[in-house]
Amino acid sequence: MKLILRNLLHIFRRYRLATILNILGLSVAFAAFIIIMTQVLYEWSYNDVHEDGDRIYRIEYHDEEWHPNLSRPLIELIGKSSPVIESFTFTDPWPSTPWFEIEKPEGNEYITPLFNRVTPSFFEIFNFEFIEGSPADLAVHRAAVVIPKSLADKYFDGSAMNKTIQKKGENAPFVIVGVYKDLPKNNTFQNAIYTAIPEEENATDLGNWNYVAYIRLHHKAENPEKVMREMLEQTDHELLEWDKEYWDEAIENSTFRLSCFEEIYFAPKIHSDWGQKGSKEMTGLLFLIACLIVIIAAINYTNFYTALSPLRAKNIVTQKVLGEEESKIRRSIMVEGVIIALFAFAFSLFIILVVQKTPIPDLLKSSLLLKEHLPLLFISGGIALLTGFFACMYPAFQMSSFPVALVLKGNFGLSPKGRRLRSVLLSIQFTVSIILLIMAIFTREQTSYMLNDNRGFDEERLFCYYINTNDEKRKAISQLLLDNPNIENVGFADAFIASDYYMEWGSEFKGENINHTTFLALPGFIETLGVELTEGRDFRESDRGTERGAYIFNETAKKAFNMELGDRVRGGEIVGFVKDFHFTSYRRPITPMCFAIFGTEEGGDNAYSALYFKMKNLEKREETYKYAQDVLAQFSPSPFIFIHSLKENAKWQYQDEKNTSALIFIFSFLSILISLVGVFGLIIFETGYRQKEIAVRKVFGANLRDILLIFNKTYIKLLLICSLIAVPVGYLLANRWLQNFAVHIPLKIWIGLFSVLIILCLTILTVTMQCWRTANENPAKTIKS
């Protein structure tokens, strides 16, 4: 052990900078691996809290697009159709965040937790651990709720059981009948307040497709399509008032399907699927980056120990001459390597503690607290040990196998075999660095495109707020807002634009069934939104006086359904067409949609709850924002008024892509830096062997430029060869990732060229900086040494 420590100290003193850089590179690689893997494991373990996830399925229906919304009578008939179904439940697909008021002696508190409605069997199918009470009581008490433990501990002294929580704007309070243990964040069903869906709600309404159904089978279905078909065949279609021909066609064409709950998170996003979604491609890319960073660092470490060969050759040969066994020499070298690797791992934990105080944790869905990832730390420590062992294996065998005569001649390091190995290792680093940089730039470009592209409406100056209103209130609010000279327009609709969750209507048009997204809107809304009318007119107040209202479709619907002005849909007249705009995120293509205004038969005076107003001058945003808050406070039951910027809402939609893109960019940059540390180590190796050659060249008239060109030429040639492999692979990976978006940037040629140029410039800079000192040494001194 004394010999090992002495060798380590000797290495550090002689090659201090190279040693520090390699240890730091290894430490950064291990830290990056742990940070990335916390995110990857978070994604891979999504919904793992539900132990029977492989037996739980969501029922989905296909009507132009797949969606999870079904009617209650249909769910109950399917749920009772087959003995293979152990249990079934359905939920409200639209969790809300209403204001709740909690009575406190020092003053009432207001909170906005997630609020959802489910059937009591929901808690039988999914794993909720109840600390107090029982979800069965939800079926007994109409105004009953169950709450998570975190909420109970924060807002209630002692037990929360049988205490009340008041929903703002409602008279009857909810009674707490159960407290459940908080679920982990990586779970479809969040820590919400849950209440029961009333038994009579839409019990016989076949047209209200507003519930999401889950079933748990007695065993995992190897063929979900076959199971679904058998269930449908046993469902009494006559009770659903569906004719047999339509029902048989639905069964034959697999109109219904079962989606395994375990796979829902990574499954392609479908219409009206409000739950969080992950990307297999993105998670796989992060995992690949984590592995490649460690591999690059291990290659650097191997190069580092190889670079020490000139320094240690004579010492090792002396040990062999004095009778030291080769196996013992190898073991000592490998133990040295393992010690350094474990030290680097320990230092990586300190780096993570520092990173916790930076903005990087905000980019992660997972926590960076080390105590929450002990299994990952043990695995990472094992990887560090193996990295030290295998990275030093070749240098240990190489150095312990030096022929005495070759060492005395001083040219053992320039053998063809050694050159080939170093070239292969460096080629891997160059190839990986170029691929990662291409991916980093593409993800950044796509994210920037989604955030900054013109979506086809005036989102920059638009602000919105949800408020329950009627005609009288809307008129008063509009008048007060328009009294502000910086507010240009006010409009009302039923939802915020630029979301993925809207009403999907099936309508009869010219004898055929068509499907389209529908926004309910009042006169003036289209002008407020800033969407261009290409034909016809805007809504008028007189449209509300007709029996079935009026419709304005987009150009996509006009072309798809061969529509014309004056045609009727659901009894209402088509009065106009608007230019296509991106009313959903860029993950989805532009599909048929319409603005609709209800007539006298539909009523719906309270349906227009999304208020929009447009500012003239954004420089006066703060004072206008405050004015609008004061106006809305007069009409809203909410104790706090949070007005949303439509631009900020759109940015929030792409927060996951933005964060992941930033992670890829940061860690790709780190991998490139680690690769350059490897180049630095190889230059140390080369200059260590070729000092006398450089000196002789200078004696015979070679200048500094010629010497630098000789060294750079080798690395430039190698990098350009690697780019022929790396660029096509990078573009293939980028193209695959871009397919996650219906609207995306093209495969830009400049990105590949720019990536190669960046790596090339950094490599030349690294080689030149290291060679400069050697090339400037006195040749007489070098030749004598």
Q: How confident is the model at residue 412 (pLDDT cuts 50, 70, 90)?
A: very low
Instruction: Report the pLDDT value the prediction gives residue 764, as an integer from 0 to 100.
Output: 85
Angle at CA of residue 716, ends 714 and 718, nearest 5°: 70
**For 111-125, 427-441, 631-645, which range has the lowest pLDDT when averaged over its residues?**
631-645
Q: Torsion-angle region of residue 771: left (phi > 0), alpha (psi -120 to 50) or beta?
A: alpha
pLDDT at 462 over 50: yes
pLDDT of residue 615: 93
Mean pLDDT across 28-45: 93
pLDDT tens, position by position, 295-349? 888 887 777 766 666 556 666 666 665 556 666 666 777 777 788 888 899 999 9
Closest CA to 38 of 371, 351, 332, 319: 371
pLDDT in tens, 224-273: 888 888 888 888 777 777 777 777 777 777 788 999 998 888 887 777 77
Strand pairing report for 144-148 and 164-167: unpaired
User: For 131-137, which contacts have Cβ atoms below 8 Å and span 24 or more sequence positions?
Assistant: 131/179, 131/180, 131/181, 132/159, 132/160, 132/161, 132/178, 132/179, 133/161, 133/176, 133/177, 133/178, 133/179, 134/177, 134/178, 135/177, 135/178, 135/180, 135/194, 137/177, 137/178
Crossing angle for the helix pair 691-699 and 704-738, to the nearest 10 degrees: 130
Half-sphere CA count of 77, side-chain side, radius 13 A: 19
Write down the pTM of the prediction. Answer: 0.79
The pLDDT, as a whole number, for residue 322 is 57
pLDDT band, residue 166 (cuts 50/70/90)? confident
**Helical H segments across 410-496, by residue range:** 416-452, 471-482
Q: What angle do CA 637, 640, 642 make, to 5 degrees?
A: 110
∠ Cα 77 79 84 (to 5°): 130
DSSP, collapsed to helix, strand or coil, labels residue 211 as strand
Measure the CA–CA gap between 629 and 638, rounded to whole angstroms.
Answer: 11
Distance CA 11, CA 4 (A): 11
Single-letter amino acid, residue 774: T
pLDDT at 159: 87
For residue 721, the SS3 value is helix
Q: State how far the Cα of 263 lies from the Cα of 125, in Å rounded to an integer.
A: 16
Greatest mean pLDDT among 11-15, 319-323, 507-511: 507-511
Of the candidates 200, 195, 153, 156, the residue with the CA atom closest to the CA atom of residue 172? 195
Name the least confident of 315-319, 412-416, 714-718.
Answer: 412-416
Asked if the model's pLDDT at residue 181 lies above 90, the reply is: yes
In one-letter notation, the amino acid at residue 8 is: L
Cα gap 173→301, rounded to integer Å:
65
DSSP letters of 8-25?
HHHHHHHTHHHHHHHHHH
Structure letter (DSSP) for residue 219: S
Q: pLDDT tens across 351-381, in order? A: 999 999 888 888 888 989 999 999 999 999 9
Chain segment 547-568, per-residue pLDDT in tens: 889 999 999 999 999 999 999 9
Q: How many CA atoms lie within 13 A of 714 on its CB side?
A: 15
Residue-wise pLDDT tens digits, 83-126? 889 999 999 877 777 778 887 777 677 888 889 999 989 998 99
More confident residue, 192 or 640: 192
Q: Contact, 258 vs 227, CB < 8 A?
A: yes
751 band by pLDDT with thresholds 50, 70 and 90: very high
pLDDT band at 214 (very low <50, low <70, confident <90, very high): very high
Using DSSP's 3-state secondary structure scheme, residue 55 falls into helix
The sign of the dihedral angle between the CA atoms of 130, 132, 133, 138 is negative
* φ, ψ (nearest 5 deg) of residue 67: -150, 155
Cβ-contact 598, 543 below 8 angstroms? no
Chain segment 669-686, per-residue pLDDT in tens? 888 888 777 777 667 666
Structure tokens at 247: 């029902």
Q: Looking at residues 492-515, what average pLDDT do you find?
A: 79
pLDDT reading at 8 higher than 70: no
Average pLDDT over every residue of 2-16: 60
- Whether 266 and 279 have beta carbons less than 8 Å apart is answered as yes
* Average pLDDT of the residues of the chain: 82
Examine the pLDDT at 280 and tell me if it is beyond 70.
Answer: yes
Read off the amino acid at residue 292: L
